Amino acid sequence: MNAASAPSKLYSDDVSLIVVLLDANPFFWASSAAAAGDSASSHHPTTTLPFSKLLNHVIPLLNSLLLLNQLNQVVLVATGVNSCGYIYDSGDGGGGSGCGSVPAICSEILRRLEEFVVKDRLQGKGPDKVVATGVSSLLSGSLSLALGFSDPELDIHSLGQILCLQGSPDGPEQYVAVMNAIFSAQRSMIPIDSCVMGVQHSAFLQQASYITGGVYLKPQQLDGLFQYLSAVFATDLQSRNFLQLPKPAGVDFRASCFCHKKTIDMGYVCSVCLSIFCKHHKKCSTCGSDFSQGPTDANASTDRKRKTSEVQP
Amino acid sequence: MSGSVEVQRRFDLAGMGEEATRRRRRGGEEDDEEEEDEDERGMEAWERAYADERSWEDLQEDESGLLRPIDTKTLVHAQYRRRLLQKSAASAASRIQKGLIRYLYLVVDLSRAASETDYRPSRMVAVAKCAEAFIREFFDQNPLSHIGLVTIKDGVAHRLTDIGGSPESQIKALMGKLECSGDASLQNALELIHGYLSQIPSYGHREVLILYSARNTCDPGDIMETIKNCKNAKIRCSVIGLSAEIFICKHLCEETGGSYTVALDESHFKELLLEHAPPPPAIAEYAAANLIKMGFPQRGAEGVIAICSCHKDVKIGGGYTCPRCKARVCELPAECRICGLTLVSSPHLARSYHHLFPVTPFNEVSSVVPFKLSQKLAQTCYGCQQSLLSHGSKPAPHVSCPKCNQRFCLDCDIYIHESLHNCPGCESHRSSTT
Ligand SMILES: [Zn+2]
Ligand SMILES: [Zn+2]
Ligand SMILES: [Zn+2]
Ligand SMILES: [Zn+2]
Ligand SMILES: [Zn+2]
């Protein structure tokens, strides 16, 4: 009963609608740029790269996706710290005069990204300031936007595909929202691919890719990022059946507790509503159930007895 | 106007397929039945073509009596909104109290009666097929629950599988054991299950679901005593009969708080069976709420070789690692063989969280908002970025989220509340996320 692998659709053609979620978290990219500066002197391969260099890899990817099939549609969504926003939609037509020239598209994307980052920062300085710990970006928001956009009911001719380019660490407070988005993608059979550029693996994206049947990749060397992106993520869903794509290197199934939004690998689960808590409470804060007895290990009383027979012949 | 409605109703009756007839039959309007069947048989081929297409249903009378095509989109949306508002009102009234951890024994009657062929190819095969669908659906809706299988034949009950959390092994065991003979004994089955279910933890809901083909029960002792025991042990017994209503089954279900239904045909049987998949409303005294200690193991990398603790065998790839003692298990949910910790897959729990934190219903934005005002607001749907202006500059009906004030089209409204369970507007603003 694992929650795994979405059933694969049969594809009549390989036209894709690809929504790329680009992490535009200035906190992460600033630290990344600083680290890149430090390691420039040493001879280690680069494991970090500044945002401007990242765009040098991402914009060619968008262009090559469009070149692969003239009917492909690419949408770029920026994931900020305080907000998320649409940056570019190749299906829009109006702005870039349909088959707009590559440099025009490129400068358009850069301009809108810049606007977005400025606006995102201004929102943080609004009435409720972002705490210094708010270094995670709003993955739940951009995933929800991307799914709303690729809702299969709206456009049955193209197949949705979501690619997350994520650097920032997970925000445990988004756990429920991210999981809701993942299950919705699974139901709509939209695979979520993820390319993680941060220091740690992302548990959210590992689960997202595992459950929706997408590819999860954490590149070893970021200076060759375009190679990874074009070789792994630019393939359409039909071609994937014939390719040897990277196998998941384990999936982190840790959950977030409802009480402190901490990521935990062991905890207490309310038997009525299944809320997760990191320590024993007297009362469930979600459903109000009263836990008068002490903590229990499920089945602790019976397990010794029923070890022996699995299935009787 | 009323004349045309009458005509439509009569056509409806004539065109009703098997399914609709059945539904009516269940509704209790049995006197209509014969007449309908006659109607259907008496239809000419050309009549049937019209009856099947039911093209008149796409038309609707407006205020002045003119026929117009039905605006299905608004209609569907209106229906959906009614459902949504009902649901949110219901959940506000009673906080989520559902018995989500169920321990259910599924009893399959494999007595002589199960070989009868009124179900195709035989009752036994039809029951097994539906049971398979039920087991899958059950685990989907009750992520932490357990099922065990018991068969009755030759007057004795036999436990086919241990109560457990894996649908695949249960289904395999059932499919491998499809032979029937002898009499059925309700009492033996209940006694056997009573013994097993009395061992389960107190927070679990004990249930028995009996798929009963026989019309009699051949018992060694007083079955009333057994029913009393089941009642005292808080075991909820339900029966789905395949032949006719039997007093003892009815008595059993009434005493123990279960439901008793009798199937008319195979599709009805499946319907009745699947009604048992969603968790029944928890009755406070039936199971004590509890906090259960659980582990959320990590899945191992593909291609890594490890020895699992459940089969004590070398396995390549997959597998899960117990967070407490680091032992390897093959499948989730399971119980760590070494330290006894309950191991579950956290996405399984997360699947039900949208019940706990539903998206607030959106407000309908009236289309008669002064034009100036509506122009100031966003004119595209925040979800799909489609324009909200239908023809010219008149805004199409749309909704707005009361929390983030973003506007959504009707399609996105349904998608957000029925599938996504997140408001894209609220999620993409830090201040409003919680
Ligand atoms: Zn906590
Ligand atoms: Zn609870
Ligand atoms: Zn263990
Ligand atoms: Zn929309
Ligand atoms: Zn909202």
Contact map slice: A 213-252 vs B, CB within 8 A: 247-252
Q: What are phi and psi of B172, to 5 degrees?
A: -60, -45
Contact with chain B for residue A272, Cβ under 8 A: yes
> What pLDDT is recorded for position B379?
74
Q: Is residue B2 part of a domain?
A: no
In angstroms, the Cα distances linking A160 to A192, A236, B189 are: 9, 10, 51
**Same domain as B256, residue B372:** no
**Same domain as B302, residue B250:** no
Among B289, B293, B353, beta carbon nearest to A290: B289
- Cα B381 to middle of ligand 4, angstroms: 5
Among B143, B340, B411, beta carbon nearest to A154: B411
Cβ–Cβ pairs < 8 A, chains A and B: 281
Q: Which domain holds residue B197?
A: 99-281
**pLDDT band, very low/low/confident/very high, at A313 (cuts 50, 70, 90):** very low
Q: Is residue B15 part of a domain?
A: no
Contact with chain B for residue A27, Cβ under 8 A: no
CA B70 to chain centre: 31
> What pLDDT is recorded for position A234?
84
Q: Are B269 and B126 in contact (CB under 8 A)?
A: yes
Contact with chain B for residue A263, Cβ under 8 A: no
Where among B254, B281, B308 does a domain terminate? Answer: B281
**Same domain as B338, residue B238:** no
Contacts of B160 (CB under 8 A, 6+ apart): A311, A312, B108, B148, B149, B150, B151, B173, B174, B177
Domains by residue range for chain A, with CATH: 16-36+44-242 (3.40.50.410), 254-294 (no CATH)
Nearest CA in chain B to A265: B296
> What pLDDT is recorded for position B108?
93
Instruction: Let me know how long chain A is.
Output: 313
**Same domain as B314, residue B380:** no
**Same domain as B368, residue B341:** no
Sign (positive or negative) of CA dihedral B323, B326, B330, B335 = negative
Contact with chain B for residue A134, Cβ under 8 A: yes
Q: How far is A299 from chain B (nearest CA, A)?
A: 6
Q: Answer whether B291 sits within 8 Å of A280, measured CB to CB.
A: yes
DSSP symbol at A46: P
Collapsing DSSP states into helix, strand and coil, what is residue A283? strand
**Same domain as B277, residue B135:** yes
pLDDT digits (tens, 9 = 90+) for A128-168: 444 544 578 889 999 998 888 765 555 554 568 899 999 88
N-to-C CA span, chain B:
53
Q: Are B14 and B43 in contact (CB under 8 A)?
A: yes
Question: For residues B385 and A219, which has the higher predicted lDDT (pLDDT)?
Answer: A219
Collapsing DSSP states into helix, strand and coil, what is residue B119? coil
Collapsing DSSP states into helix, strand and coil, what is residue B370? coil
> What pLDDT is recorded for position A68?
83
Question: For residues B237 and A300, which has the higher predicted lDDT (pLDDT)?
Answer: B237
**Same domain as B277, residue B317:** no
Number of domains in chain B: 3
Q: Is residue B38 part of a domain?
A: no
Q: What is the pTM of this model?
A: 0.70
CATH number at residue B378: 3.30.40.10
**Same domain as B268, residue B234:** yes
Collapsing DSSP states into helix, strand and coil, what is residue B281? strand
Q: Answer whether A311 sits within 8 Å of B350, measured CB to CB.
A: no
Q: Answer whether B97 sits within 8 Å of A287, measured CB to CB.
A: yes
**Same domain as B308, residue B188:** no
> What pLDDT is recorded for position B49?
66
CA dihedral A173, A179, A185, A186 (to 10 degrees): 170
Among A253, A295, A306, beta carbon nearest to B291: A295
Q: Is residue B380 part of a domain?
A: yes
Q: How far is A46 from chain B (nearest CA, A)?
A: 25
Instruction: Say which range, A257-271, A281-295, B130-144, has the weakest mean pLDDT.
Output: A281-295
Triad B415, B417, B423: Cα angle to 5°: 90
Q: Are B256 and B250 in contact (CB under 8 A)?
A: no
pLDDT at A282 over 50: yes
**pLDDT band, very low/low/confident/very high, at A304 (cuts 50, 70, 90):** very low
Q: Is residue B162 part of a domain?
A: yes
Q: How far is B53 from chain A (nearest CA, A)?
A: 24
Q: Which of A147, A258, A269 to mutate to test the interface with B (most CBs of B within 10 A)?
A: A269
In angstroms, the Cα distances linking B108 to A208, B144, B169 are: 38, 23, 16
pLDDT digits (tens, 9 = 90+) for A61-94: 988 888 887 778 888 999 988 888 888 888 765 4
> What pLDDT is recorded for position B152?
92
Q: Is residue B245 part of a domain?
A: yes
Q: What are phi and psi of B363, to 5 degrees?
A: -90, 140
**Same domain as B310, residue B241:** no
Q: Is residue B202 part of a domain?
A: yes
- Cα B426 to middle of ligand 5, angstroms: 4
pLDDT digits (tens, 9 = 90+) for A14-73: 667 889 999 988 888 888 777 766 655 444 445 667 888 888 889 889 888 888 877 788
CATH number at residue B116: 3.40.50.410
pLDDT by position in tens, chain B (length 434): 444 444 444 444 344 444 443 444 444 444 444 444 444 556 676 676 666 666 666 677 766 777 766 666 676 777 777 777 776 666 654 545 555 678 899 999 999 988 888 887 888 999 999 999 898 888 777 777 889 999 998 989 999 888 877 777 888 888 887 888 899 999 999 999 999 888 877 777 889 999 999 988 889 999 999 999 999 988 999 999 998 899 999 999 999 988 999 998 888 898 899 888 877 765 545 556 778 888 999 888 877 788 888 777 887 777 888 999 888 888 777 778 888 888 888 888 888 788 778 888 888 876 555 544 545 556 788 888 777 776 556 667 788 899 888 888 888 888 888 888 889 888 888 764 44
B260-290 burial: b if 16+ Cβ within 10 Å, else e: bbbbeebebbbbbbeebbebbebeeebbbbb
Q: Is residue B231 part of a domain?
A: yes
> What pLDDT is recorded for position B25?
40
